[in-house]
């Protein structure tokens, strides 16, 4: 059972996030053994993501425990963070059916997909044949080619710049050197 008595400011902020996101909270707590300190380790970067932005005003914060993965972003509302559903992939595009819907005209209906594969080393992005392209660290991605994402990468969906941040909990870190799948 989780001890709901926060022992620090970080724990208080983490509890606030958990209360606002009950479906994600249940999975995080189950994955991390109902240990609030472990949960705070991966949630604290989510809460600090807006302060990490240096190149852009927008961010996508990816979070994983290995089994549970979700995204937090301010792309849909610059003043607020939006939490996606737990999944292994999220569509980014102009369509309302996308997990991250961007209503700008230079964005294709289904522009790109961000995915998570624990067996492949983490989060990746793939351009879905968009008209105006997806760029990683200012290099245009070939369509339908998966590219492993790293903490601090700059993603551009057409002309929209987004900083990618990563927060994860792993008992045994996975070391990867290849950025292509």
User: What's residue 175's pLDDT?
Assistant: 43
Q: Is the pLDDT of residue 176 over 50?
A: no
**How many H-runs (helices) and E-runs (strands) does the chain carry?**
3, 12
pLDDT digits (tens, 9 = 90+) for 93-149: 999 999 999 999 999 999 999 999 988 779 999 999 999 999 999 999 999 999 999
Residue 150 in this model has a pLDDT that exceeds 90: yes
What confidence tier does 170 reach under pLDDT thresholds 50, 70, 90?
A: low
Give the list of residues 6+ apart from residue 21 with CB closer than 8 angstroms, or none.
83
The pLDDT of residue 154 is above 70: yes
Tokens of 37: 């300190």
> All domains of the chain, ordered by start, with CATH?
54-168 (2.60.200.20)
Digit-coded pLDDT (tens) for 61-99: 999 998 899 999 999 988 889 999 999 999 999 999 999
- Distance from C-alpha of 116 to C-alpha of 66, rounded to nearest angstrom: 9
pLDDT band at 174 (very low <50, low <70, confident <90, very high): very low
Residues near 149 by beta carbon (within 8 Å), at least 6 away in sequence = 62, 114, 122, 123, 124, 125, 136, 155, 164, 166
Average pLDDT score over the chain: 89
The predicted pLDDT at position 11 comes to 80
Above pLDDT 70, what percent of the chain?
A: 89
């Amino acid at each position: 059972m989780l001890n709901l008595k926060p022992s620090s400011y970080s724990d208080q902020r983490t509890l606030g996030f958990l209360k606002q996101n009950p479906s994600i909270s249940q999975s995080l707590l189950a994955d991390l053994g109902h240990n609030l300190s472990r949960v705070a380790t991966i949630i604290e970067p989510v809460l600090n993501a807006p302060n990490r932005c240096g190149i852009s005003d927008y961010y996508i914060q990816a979070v994983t425990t290995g089994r549970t993965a979700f995204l937090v972003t301010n792309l849909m509302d610059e003043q607020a963070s939006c939490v996606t559903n737990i999944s292994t992939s999220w569509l980014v595009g102009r369509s309302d059916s996308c997990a991250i819907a961007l209503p700008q005209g230079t964005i294709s209906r289904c522009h790109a997909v961000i995915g998570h594969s624990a067996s492949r080393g983490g989060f990746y992005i793939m351009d879905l044949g968009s008209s105006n392209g997806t760029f990683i660290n200012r290099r245009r991605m070939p369509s339908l080619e998966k590219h492993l994402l790293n903490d601090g990468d700059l993603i551009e969906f057409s002309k929209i710049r987004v900083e990618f941040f990563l927060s994860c909990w792993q008992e045994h870190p996975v070391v990867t050197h290849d950025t292509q799948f």
